[in-house]
């Protein structure tokens, strides 16, 4: 992999050449990613893939006009041609007074080491061995496991460098490793598929491969002989596997681009009580070794802790430089998205939540899009488990859960303590009162 000094030099060359070509400002993003992925299926090696990707993205500003160009060639000639192409595009674009670099005083000139880089020196042979062990554990867990979609081991590491003509050039390496397994179970005419996975920046923090295989098998077998439900209105628990999708819908609604385009059901929601008064969401971008951590955003702006919801009330929108200017607000350092969003967990795990619910639905899988970002109307295909007297009665499938996100957010009765840390959004299971389940008549 290229060193950070080599990539910083590429960025410096791009910015210098942009100034030479007449740009009033410029920014460049350079990245190099390498990886290995191995998949086995039914005891045989299916794929071994190496990847090595690198790329340069350059945006130049000529007054209020901008142009962008990309290349994967780091040579001096390619750098010059990329700059010429970007400047040439800028001549023909419309002026936009809101475009441009993020403000200079927001740059992360001094940023922390977040412990994001832990290379995994694993050979293809060892990756095959671990994948085989994962799949074997799944297939041996239950006689009803009749087929497999495979088990995989993957490892990736990358180096990203961003710089702009404010004099900022920042770089940080990162890694991400994973193990996953998907299997198929059959009982009579019923056939089901499910999966499980573990991911971490440090391979030492991955779950044991045999455990991943066993959980994949248990989840698959649990879905056998699923039934449909008749249409009804009941409380619904979104398990921690899928509850982050509800929070993602909220985040999309408070993103700057959705707001200035007036394509959000949460327009003018700042200061409004959208959730119950116990509900809080915060961003923690500097958690050591976390999957969502980043020292600066996609525009070089320093990332920082932030409350998005406190006591149920929206405290902040999600803004980059452009959307902040459009809305006449302060840039929040979220170009490229949020970093380690944490929903404050409650005290109950899923089993306690089911006991307290008594009767209702636990959703473990969601299908389709089914979310209208303008109205908040929500309707998605789902599968999961029907609960009676606080215990799982039987699996269900081919149903739809429906409601309106504004009402659903208000009706979140419990946040579980079973937080899923494998994602950028960390949230436990969510119990929503009174949703409509559409099934068989």
Q: Which residues pair with 161 in a beta bridge?
A: 30, 171
pTM of the complete model: 0.94
The band of 167, judged by pLDDT with boundaries at 50, 70 and 90, is: very high
The band of 439, judged by pLDDT with boundaries at 50, 70 and 90, is: confident
347 burial via Cβ count (<10 Å: 0-12, 13-18, 19+)? exposed
Q: Give the whole-angstrom CA distance, residue 268 versus residue 285.
A: 26
Q: Give the whole-angstrom CA distance, residue 433 versus residue 21.
A: 60
Asked if the model's pLDDT at residue 83 lies above 60, the reply is yes
Dmax (CA) of the chain: 73
Q: Averaged over 14-33, what is the pLDDT?
A: 96
Over residues 202-216, the pLDDT tens digits come to 999 999 999 999 999
Q: Give the whole-angstrom CA distance, residue 157 versus residue 121.
A: 11
Q: Give the whole-angstrom CA distance, residue 269 versus residue 385.
A: 34
User: Cα dist. 369→254, 337, 345, 378, 400 in Å?
Assistant: 18, 20, 26, 9, 12
Structural domains of the chain, with CATH: 4-33+49-106 (3.30.2290.10), 232-245+345-438 (no CATH)
Q: What is the CA radius of gyration of the chain?
A: 24
Q: Give the whole-angstrom CA distance, residue 160 versus residue 153.
A: 23
Q: Give the whole-angstrom CA distance, residue 374 versus residue 244.
A: 20
Over residues 174-195, the pLDDT tens digits come to 999 999 999 999 999 999 999 9
Q: Averaged over 393-417, what is the pLDDT?
A: 97
Asked if the model's pLDDT at residue 221 lies above 90, the reply is yes
Closest C-alpha to 293, from 149, 162, 174, 417: 174
Which pLDDT score, from 0 to 100, does residue 209 have? 98
Contact 281, 306 (CB under 8 A): no
Asked if the model's pLDDT at residue 375 lies above 70, the reply is yes
């Amino acid at each position: 992999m290229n060193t950070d000094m080599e990539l910083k030099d590429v960025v410096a060359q791009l910015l210098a050449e942009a100034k030479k070509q007449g740009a009033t400002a410029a920014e460049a993003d350079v990245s190099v990613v390498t990886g290995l992925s191995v998949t086995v299926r039914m005891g045989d090696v299916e794929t071994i893939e190496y990847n090595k990707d690198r790329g340069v993205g350059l945006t130049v500003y000529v007054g209020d006009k901008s142009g962008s160009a990309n290349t994967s060639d780091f040579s001096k000639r390619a750098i010059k041609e990329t700059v010429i192409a970007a400047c040439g595009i800028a001549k023909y674009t419309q002026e936009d007074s809101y475009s441009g670099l993020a403000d200079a005083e927001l740059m992360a000139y001094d940023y922390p080491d977040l412990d994001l880089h832990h290379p995994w020196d694993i050979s293809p042979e060892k990756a095959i061995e671990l994948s085989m062990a994962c799949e074997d554990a799944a297939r041996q867990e239950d006689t009803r496991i009749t087929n497999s979609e495979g088990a995989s081991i993957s490892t990736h590491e990358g180096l990203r460098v961003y710089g702009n003509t404010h004099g900022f050039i920042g770089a940080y390496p990162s890694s991400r490793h994973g193990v996953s397994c998907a299997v198929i179970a059959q009982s009579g005419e019923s056939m089901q598929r499910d999966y499980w996975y573990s991911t971490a920046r440090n391979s030492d923090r991955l779950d044991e491969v045999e455990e991943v295989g066993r959980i994949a098998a248990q989840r698959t077998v649990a879905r056998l002989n699923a039934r449909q439900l008749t249409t009804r209105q009941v409380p619904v628990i979104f398990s921690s596997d899928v509850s982050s999708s509800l929070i993602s819908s909220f985040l999309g609604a408070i993103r700057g681009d959705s707001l200035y385009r007036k394509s959000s059901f949460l327009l003018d929601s700042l200061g409004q009580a959208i959730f119950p008064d116990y509900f809080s969401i915060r961003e923690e971008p500097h958690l050591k070794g976390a999957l969502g951590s980043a020292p600066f955003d996609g525009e070089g702006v320093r990332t920082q802790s932030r409350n998005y919801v406190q006591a149920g009330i929206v405290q902040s929108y999600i803004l980059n430089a452009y959307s902040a200017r459009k809305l006449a607000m302060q840039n929040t350092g979220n170009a490229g998205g949020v970093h380690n969003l944490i929903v404050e967990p409650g005290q109950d795990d899923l089993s306690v939540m089911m006991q307290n619910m008594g009767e209702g639905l636990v959703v473990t899988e969601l299908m389709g899009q089914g979310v209208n970002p303008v109205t908040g109307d929500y309707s998605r295909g789902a599968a999961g488990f029907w609960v009676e007297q606080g215990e799982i009665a039987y699996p269900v499938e081919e149903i739809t859960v429906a409601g309106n996100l504004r009402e659903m957010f208000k009706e979140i009765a419990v946040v579980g303590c079973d937080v899923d840390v494998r994602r950028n959004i960390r949230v436990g299971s969510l119990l929503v009162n009174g949703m409509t389940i559409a099934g068989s008549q």
